[in-house]
Structure 1
C-alpha cells in the first residue's frame, strides 16, 4: 500500500475516533441522565410523596436521542442486523465486493433517511410544536434523527473506504472479519474457506 493510501487511512481513522467520542458522550450521557432522573424521581415519590414534573417526558426524549445516535454506534461496531444468507456463501473477492456494495447501498439509504428526517425536523420547527409538560421545542429532540442517520451513513462509507484501501475483509472501519465470524463448511478450517483477500 503506498503512502497516499496510508495517509488517507490515518486521516479516516482520526475522523472515526472523533465520531466515536461524540457517540459515546451522547449515548453515555443520555443513559446516565435517564438513570439519575428516574432515580431522583422515584426517591422523591417515596420520601416526599412528590416526584419531578416532566420526568417521563424527558425520559422519552432521551430514548429518542439514544436510539438514533445508537444506529451509528451499532454500525461502528458491526452490531447491526445483517441478512447474510448469500454473503456467507461467498469467499474472497466476491465476498468483499458484496460487502462493499452493501456498505454503499446502506450509506445511501442512511443519508436519504437523514435528509427526510431533516425535513421532518424543519416541519416540526415551522409548526412550533413543543412538549406538553415542559414546553421544550420538539425540533431540538428530533434533531437526533438526521444526526444519527447521518453518522450511520458516514460509518458505512468509512467501512467501504477501509475495504477499498486495505487487504482483508472489514465488517466496520475498525473490525476485521475473522474465521470466528464465518461459518465453517464441512467441519474444516482454513484452506478454500480462507477469506483473506
Structure 2
C-alpha cells in the first residue's frame, strides 16, 4: 500500500508541476507577444482552467502532506489520548465532507456535460474543467481514508 501511496503522490505532484510549468510558459509567451502588439486569445482561458485543476488536485496533495490550514490551539493543550480522538474525529468529518463534495460535484459535472457547454475561446467541453472537482474530491477521499487508517494503526501500536 505504501508503494501505491507513493506512486499516487508522485503522479499528483508531477501533474501539478507540469500544469504550473505550462501556465508559466504560455503566459510568459503571451506577455512577450503583447509587447509586439499581438497575443494568443486562448492563453488566459487555458491558464484559468489549469489553475482550477491545480487547485483541486493540490488539495489532495495538501491532505497527504498535512498542509491544510488548521487551528491547532486546542490540539496543543490536549493530552495524547484526547488529541488522538480529536484527530480521528477530524479525519472522519473531513472524509465525509470530501465524499459529499465528490457526489455533488459529480452531479454538477454531469449536468454541464449533458448540456454540452463549451468554453468561449478554446471551444473545449466545460465538463473537462468541471471534472477537476470530482477528481480532486476522489483523491482527497482516498487521502482521508489513508489518514484515518493511519491514525487507527498508531493507536493500536501503543
Per the normalisation by structure 2, the TM-score is: 0.92
Does residue 64 of the first structure (1) align with residue 64 of the second (2)?
A: no
1:80 and 2:72 are equivalent in the alignment: no
1:35 maps to 24
Q: How many residues align?
A: 157
**1:15 and 1:111 mapped to 2: Cα distance?**
21
TM-score in terms of structure 1 length: 0.75
Partner of 2:120: 132
Matched, 1:104 2:92: yes
User: Larger Rg: 1 or 2?
Assistant: 1
1:74-118: CA deviations, max 9, x gaps?
Answer: 111111022334332211122111101110110111011011101
**Equivalent residue number for residue 193 of structure 1:** none
Unaligned residue ranges in structure 2 (runs of 5+): none
Q: Distance in 1 between matches of 2:96 and 2:3?
A: 23
How far 1:167 moved relative to its partner? Answer: 5.5
Q: Which has the higher helix share?
A: 2
Cα RMSD for the two superposed structures:
1.6
**1:15 shift after superposition:** 2.3
> What does 1:173-192 correspond to in 2, within 5 Å?
none
1:31-54 alpha-carbon deviations (Å, 9 max, x no partner): 00100100111122223x211121
Matched, 1:159 2:147: yes
- In 1, distance between residues paired with 2:24 and 2:39? 14
The equivalent residue for 1:121 is: 109
**Offset at 1:166?**
2.7
Deviates more, 1:94-103 or 1:121-130: 94-103
